[in-house]
């Protein structure tokens, strides 16, 4: 292999293409041979060859990059395998899993953080997405420009560069967000009360969650003793463990454009006649939204809920960019995938990391299956 | 009053939507504004909306920064190479799932759909060990090669849905004229699904351009860093003063390709997402 990294990858890519074409041809021929033995017509043989020939890249990739890795990681999750050590891996049975589920504080923190994002972040995110979708659904001029503007954050979303800009904006002392809060509070006292009340509520809720994290509620009692925040208080976005998750939620709300598009699709699918009939009967816009639009949107809410919950297990970039170098903060916001990365690639504990992967996989399967089971109870599929 | 209500309502609507647009685009504005500021202005305790005397100093210095330029080149190089292979293989697989009848198709299709449930991160640990055995750590290979095997079930699905809507008579008449599947795929079907292809290409581009986790794992030396990895090293907590103008300049230059691509592809994306209910 050439030393030059660019040349190296070009050569590997060319070899990969040759390998894929060869294996496609091989798989196609094999499939054709099998159907010929079964006495298929010439046309069927031809179609079988072509079908497997064209689908082979995915089939071969599925075996190499999904099935085999999954099998290996299942095996390793029962061993103490480390990439760095020369010793062969030892079979440890369920030790990794029992440590992970019952003894590991960081893992418990990651579950509770996900719960926080699901219970507090997702409703906020979906609420904003739904509001924007309803506003855009009014069909007015320039709708396209607004739609673009609301979707752009999804594209920029988790780019490191954009996250660093958020870090600048969220700076406690000189960040623009806190400066605006300060300016508004001084200029207009009710905003100051509103600001401090929301700080108070937010910090108490987060303190409760952090209490579950480490089993100690001293932060909560300290907060309650301190009482209502002082005049000059501002949110401590990227500075205090009480605020780290709220910063992530802020980013989630900013990136609500993907959910908004889903809701917009749902609103488009609602038959116009329903609204017209209700209008004739004298229903107000508010009533029509809650009695017609909202029930018919439940499948879309449901979809966003499943996708949103799964993606909150997988949050990585915001934590890495905002908190990586501030270790005391990481545990207050750590996600499962971040923890997986930390264990596997800072400490190279492959056995333990594999166990985490399998737990993530199982949790996602359970969440999806449970949500699909529960949906009959509250999701309306009528009319469709 | 009642007479003016519709007008009032639409004024209110525009007011709220414009407000939301300003809030949503604010980070972008702030990024550009900060990149033109002096260091004092970015760390000033008062609000500096726009720099008093905009300076291109940060831009000039970043264009002399070899590490930044190299990481920019690395990103363009790896994204192009990866995108080309991934797009072509996805288009081939989508063709197999939409235009050909073959035994086992439904089973394979179902398997493919079910891989959408597997979080990619569940596979990173064993894949890392695998690439380590191949001696691929510290090369671009692990970031590029897996995509060549039609990586991305959701993208295959999106493309398949569009290909399935093309009338079957088209390929049948081409068959009669003696064309084979490869010709039909490349010369007839692909030109007809340009818009979905553009959508898929955009989603892939955005994913690759923003990707941080895998480059972080596999590119161990600063020579190979892609933009997200390099830009993340610019912010260093050990510095007493962060060089915000420089960081934000790097951020602006990182974001420009995303915005350009989105600007050209948005009409495809916004439509196909609404139609198929998929998200990137």
Q: Which of residues 176-215 of B touch A (CB under 8 A)?
A: 181, 185, 206, 209-210, 212-213
Residue A8 with chain B: CB contacts under 8 Å: 139-141
Q: At what angle do helices A189-214 and A176-187 cross, to 10 degrees?
A: 130
pLDDT at position B78 is 95
CA angle B114, A79, A104 (to 5 degrees): 80
> What distance lies between CA A340 and its chain's CA centroid?
15
B220: in domain: yes
The string of pLDDT tens digits covering residues A95-148 is 999 999 888 888 998 889 988 998 899 999 999 999 999 999 887 788 888 988
Q: Count contacts between A and B (CB, < 8 Å).
A: 315
Torsion of the alpha carbons at A255, B69, B141 and A65, rounded to the nearest 10: 0
Residue A378 pLDDT: 63
The C-alpha of A370 sits at a distance from chain B's nearest C-alpha, in angstroms, of: 14
Query: What single-letter DSSP state applies at residue B193?
Result: T
Q: How many angstroms separate the CA atoms of A258 and A264, rounded? A: 10
* Mean pLDDT rounded to a whole number for chain A: 88
Q: What is the pLDDT of residue B228?
A: 94
Q: What is the pLDDT of residues A10-43, one digit of tens each?
A: 999 999 999 999 999 999 999 999 999 998 888 8
A190-224 per-position pLDDT tens digit: 989 999 999 999 999 999 988 888 778 888 888 88
Tell me how long chain A is: 384
Here the CATH number for the domain that contains residue B198 is 1.10.3720.10
B269: nearest Cα among B211, B190, B205: B205
> pLDDT at position A381, please?
57
What is the SS3 assignment for A79?
Answer: strand
B201 falls within a domain: yes
* Within-domain flag for B18: no
Our count of domains for chain B comes to 1
pLDDT digits (tens, 9 = 90+) for A307-336: 888 888 888 889 888 888 777 788 888 888
Residue B10 inside a domain? The answer is no
Transcribe B140-180 into DSSP letters.
SHHHHGGGGGT--HHHHHHHHHHHHTS-THHHHHHHHTT--
Enumerate the H helices of chain A as residue ranges.
Answer: 5-37, 42-62, 68-76, 95-98, 105-116, 122-136, 143-156, 160-170, 176-187, 189-214, 218-226, 244-254, 257-269, 272-280, 285-288, 294-313, 317-323, 327-330, 336-341, 350-378
Show the domain range for B130. 31-276
pTM of the shown model: 0.91
Query: Which residues are CB-neighbours of B172 under 8 A, at least 6 positions away?
Result: none
What is the CB neighbour count within 10 angstroms for residue B192?
14
Chain B residues closer than 8 Å to A150 by CB: 20-21, 24
- Interface mutation vs chain A, best among B42, B86, B146, B149, most A CBs within 10 Å: B149
1.10.3720.10, 3.30.420.40, 1.20.1070.10, 1.20.120.1770: which CATH number matches A101-172+236-378? 1.10.3720.10
pLDDT the model gives residue A383: 46
Query: Which candidate from B43, B149, B156 shows the least CB-CB separation from A174?
Result: B43
Interface of B with A in 95-154 (CB under 8 A): 95-97, 100-105, 108, 111-112, 115, 117-119, 121-130, 132, 139-141, 144-146, 148-151
Domain boundaries, chain A: 5-76, 101-172+236-378
What φ, ψ does residue B117 adopt, rounded to 5°?
-75, -20
Could you tell me what percent of chain A has a pLDDT over 90? 39
Half-sphere exposure of A374 (CA within 13 A, CB side): 11
pLDDT in tens, chain B (280 residues): 667 888 888 898 999 999 999 999 999 999 999 999 998 888 887 888 888 888 999 999 999 999 999 999 999 999 999 999 999 999 999 999 999 999 999 999 999 988 887 878 778 888 998 998 899 999 999 999 999 999 888 899 989 988 998 898 888 888 888 889 999 999 999 999 988 899 999 999 999 999 998 998 899 899 999 999 999 999 887 777 888 999 999 999 999 999 999 998 888 876 665 554 443 3
Biggest CA-to-CA distance, chain A: 85
How far is CA B192 from each of CA A157, B159, B165, B170, rounded to the nearest angstrom? 31, 11, 10, 11
Q: What's the pLDDT score for residue A348?
A: 81
Q: Do B124 and A55 touch (CB under 8 A)?
A: no
Any domain includes B259: yes
The pLDDT score that the predictor gives to residue A382 is 53
């Amino acid at each position: 292999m050439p030393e030059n990294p660019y040349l190296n990858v070009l050569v590997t890519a060319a070899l990969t293409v040759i390998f894929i074409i060869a294996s496609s041809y091989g798989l196609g021929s094999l499939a054709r041979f099998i159907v010929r033995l079964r006495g298929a017509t010439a046309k069927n043989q031809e179609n079988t060859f072509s079908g497997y020939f064209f689908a082979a890249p995915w089939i071969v990739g599925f075996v190499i990059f999904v099935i085999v890795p999954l099998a290996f990681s299942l095996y390793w999750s029962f061993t103490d395998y480390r990439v760095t050590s020369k010793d062969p891996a030892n079979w440890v049975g369920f030790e990794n899993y029992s440590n992970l589920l019952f003894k590991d504080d960081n893992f418990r923190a990651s579950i509770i953080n996900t719960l926080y994002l699901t219970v507090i972040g997702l409703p906020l995110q979906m609420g904003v997405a739904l509001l924007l979708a309803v506003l855009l659904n009014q069909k007015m001029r320039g709708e396209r420009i607004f739609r673009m503007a609301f979707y752009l954050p999804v594209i920029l979303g988790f780019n490191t560069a954009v996250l660093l800009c958020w870090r600048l904006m969220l700076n406690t002392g000189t960040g623009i967000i806190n400066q605006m809060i300060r300016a508004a509070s001084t200029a207009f006292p009710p905003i100051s009360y509103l600001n401090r009340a929301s700080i108070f509520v937010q910090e108490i809720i987060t303190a409760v969650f952090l209490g579950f994290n480490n089993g100690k509620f001293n932060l909560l009692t300290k907060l309650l003793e301190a009482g209502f925040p002082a005049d000059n208080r501002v949110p401590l976005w990227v500075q205090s463990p009480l605020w780290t998750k709220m910063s992530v939620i802020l980013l989630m709300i900013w990136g609500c454009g993907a959910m908004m598009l889903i809701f917009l699709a749902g609103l488009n699918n609602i038959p116009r006649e329903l609204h017209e009939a209700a209008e004739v009967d004298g229903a107000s816009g508010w009533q029509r939204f809650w009695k017609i639009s909202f029930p018919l949107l439940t499948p879309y809410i449901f979809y966003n809920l499943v996708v949103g919950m799964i993606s909150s297990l997988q949050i990585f970039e915001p934590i890495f960019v905002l908190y990586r170098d501030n270790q005391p903060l990481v545990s207050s916001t750590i996600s499962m995938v971040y923890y997986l990365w930390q264990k596997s690639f800072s400490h190279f504990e492959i056995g333990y990391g594999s166990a985490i992967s399998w737990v993530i996989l199982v949790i996602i399967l359970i969440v999806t299956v449970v949500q699909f089971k529960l949906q009959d109870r509250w999701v309306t599929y009528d009319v469709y | 009053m009642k007479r003016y209500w519709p007008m009032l309502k639409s004024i209110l609507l525009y007011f709220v939507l414009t407000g939301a647009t300003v809030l949503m685009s604010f980070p972008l504005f702030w990024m550009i504004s900060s990149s033109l500021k002096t260091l004092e202005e970015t760390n000033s305790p008062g609000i500096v909306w726009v720099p008093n005397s905009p300076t291109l100093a940060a831009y000039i210095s970043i264009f002399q920064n070899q590490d930044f330029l190299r990481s920019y080149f690395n990103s363009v190089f790896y994204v192009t190479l990866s995108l080309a292979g991934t797009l072509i293989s996805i288009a081939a697989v989508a063709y197999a799932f939409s235009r050909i009848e073959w035994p086992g198709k439904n089973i394979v299709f179902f398997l493919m759909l079910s891989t959408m449930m597997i979080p990619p991160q569940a596979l990173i640990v064993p894949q890392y060990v695998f690439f380590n055995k191949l001696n691929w750590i510290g090369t671009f290979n692990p970031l590029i090669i897996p995509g060549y095997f039609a990586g991305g079930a959701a993208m295959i699905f999106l493309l398949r849905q569009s290909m399935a809507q093309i009338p079957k008579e088209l390929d049948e008449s081409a068959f009669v004229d003696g064309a084979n599947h490869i010709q039909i795929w490349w010369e007839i079907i692909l030109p007809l699904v340009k818009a979905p292809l553009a959508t898929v290409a955009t989603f892939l581009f955005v994913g690759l351009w923003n990707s941080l986790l895998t480059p972080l794992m596999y590119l161990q030396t600063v020579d190979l860093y892609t933009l997200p990895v390099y830009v993340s090293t610019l912010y260093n907590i050990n510095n007493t003063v962060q060089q915000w103008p420089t960081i934000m300049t790097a951020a602006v230059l990182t974001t420009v390709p995303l915005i350009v691509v989105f600007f050209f592809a948005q009409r495809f994306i916004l439509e196909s997402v609404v139609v198929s209910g998929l998200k990137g």
